[in-house]
Amino acid sequence: MTNDLSLARLLGPEGPACAAAMEAGRRWLAGRDPAGLMAGVGQEIAEVPAFAPIDKRALPASYGGDQTGPSDDFLVGQGLFYLSEQRRLFLDCTAGHYQMLWGYNHPELEAAAIEAVRAGVVWDNHSNIPQAPLKQLGRRLIQAANDPGDPDPLDKVLLGVCTGSVACAAALKVQIKVFERKTRTRATPVILSLEGNYHGSDFMPQFMRGLWPLLPRPCEFVNVEPNALDAIEAAFTRYGERIAGFWAEPVMMNREAIPVSRASLELARHWCHRVGALLCLDEIQTGFWRPEIFDFRALGVRPDLVVLGKGMAAGFHPLSGVLFRSRHDVLEQYDAISTNGSAALPALVALASMQLIHARAGQVEAAAGRIQSGFHALANEFPGLVERAQGRGHLMGLRLKSVDHAKGLHRRLLADGVWTRVHAYHEGHRTLLTKLGLLADAQIVDFLIDRIRHALRALSVENSSASRQTSIVL
């Protein structure tokens, strides 16, 4: 029996060739600055040897398990760029799956993690005995969430949860427990949320989206349209003190990057205070993507609960949490917990990431403004194709005038080496989505905007040609 734990052996029969390609790709990426990498986006990199990727038949169909032909998945990445298995270079404009705050394998974060491990910080440990980095992360999050001397601060953090789905479920449990304690009736609690929300993949958050219609509901879930002030007012007026909580994401990345307005959040804040409900802001998407750390700080709205996730640990290892006030500390220890919650090393990486955000606040803020203005400029430049730009800061989308246009734009960008996402799988959705990592500077932002502009021009020409052909046939 061998004890060979090398990458080449662990990856099976394809391992030696795959490991060699990874190493060649890593060297190639590390040997070029961003300008040199941008020059190669969309091209096949000959310096990386070709190899036969591992097939995906073991994976579910929804994750590509039934894919035919050679795969072209992720091979290796550095910063905002990655190489695919077919040796093509891509600019990743979605931060992995919206969580790679500083891109792939950020050298300063890696160095901090390696130093911590050598000093004795463990990858994970039991939540009953949190190691120093997790306790310090709790303190730093509270500092970031409150003004000095705030008389009613968010002063507790649940960090014993691994994923955002578990964190959202924990926040829902707090809302329901507080509701049970305040009411003497057996009335069914009502949870208000925004149409098109996404608060995780647990059953309770999915009930909020109308999924699993055959299962009984422990609460009454009511959705209102984003930024519809009259609808928010009407819902609170109708359900009153039966409302246990109101939920919102500051930027709805599952609903085409719709930014939720300060006015609607302030209205919800007013009504939650009036009826005794808890306002929860889900900052899994928006948190850590700005110098203030939290979007609610910039918006000037004071929530009762804040859900954290994704970018907090910069994609190093999932770590999520819930911020709240001491009087809402109502859950028992194991009411909301993950086996991999309270992980010390991801907490250390989160602390290092927060330090980087502080140090580079000017660049982060400048890039956010440049991205936002660039997307709005594209919408103005192509009114025949683009309905509008929407989003905020690094979280931006282009809503096209048809689903076909949205899918066509996405295909063209993919062929050009620009990795984006497209929302076109729900009826009426037709938006190209981006979420650039915080490494993005003016050069990267302008490169992305120019690539989108080029793709829109080609799509416009194609659309005009198709219209002329239709006119001739008619």
pLDDT tens-place string over residues 222-271: 999 999 999 999 999 999 999 999 999 999 999 999 999 999 999 999 99
Which sequence spans correspond to the domains of the chain?
1-92, 112-359, 365-474
* Topology, domain 365-474: Aspartate Aminotransferase, domain 1 (3.90.1150)
How sure is the predictor about 341, in pLDDT bands with cuts at 50, 70 and 90?
confident
Q: What is the pLDDT of residue 468?
A: 56
User: What is the DSSP pairing of strand 421-423 with strand 386-392?
Assistant: unpaired
CATH class of the domain comprising 112-359: alpha beta
Tokens of 113: 């993690």
Q: Give me the pLDDT at residue 469, please.
A: 58
Task: Give the pLDDT confidence score for residue 472 in this predicted structure.
Answer: 53
Average pLDDT over residues 411-420: 97
To the nearest 10 degrees (0 to 180), the angle between helices 442-473 and 403-415 is 130
Which bin fits 121, alpha (ψ -120 to 50), beta or left (φ > 0)?
beta
Q: pTM here?
A: 0.94
> How far is the C-alpha of 373 from the C-alpha of 396, rounded, in Å?
10
Determine whether 263 is exposed, middle or buried from the number of CB atoms within 10 Å of its CB (0-12, 13-18, 19+): exposed
CA distance to 25, 154, 307, per residue, from 287 (Å): 32, 15, 9
- Measured between alpha carbons, how far is 454 from 263 in angstroms, rounded to an integer? 36
DSSP 277: -
3-state helix, strand, coil in the chain (%, to 5): 45, 15, 40
Residues 6+ away with beta carbon under 8 Å from 65: 56, 57, 58, 59
Amino acid at 417: G
Reply yes or no on whether the pLDDT at 110 is more than 60: yes
Q: Could you report the per-residue pLDDT of 112-139, keeping only the tens digit for each?
A: 999 999 999 999 988 889 999 999 999 9
Question: Hey, what are 467's tokens?
Answer: 């219209």
Contact of 54 with 11, CB cutoff 8 Å = yes
The sign of the CA dihedral 134, 135, 140, 141 is: positive
Q: Tokens for 353?
A: 């990431």
**Mean pLDDT of all residues in the chain?**
94
Amino acid at 409: L
Amino acid letter, 347: A
For residue 335, the model assigns a pLDDT of 86
Q: What pLDDT does 395 receive?
A: 98
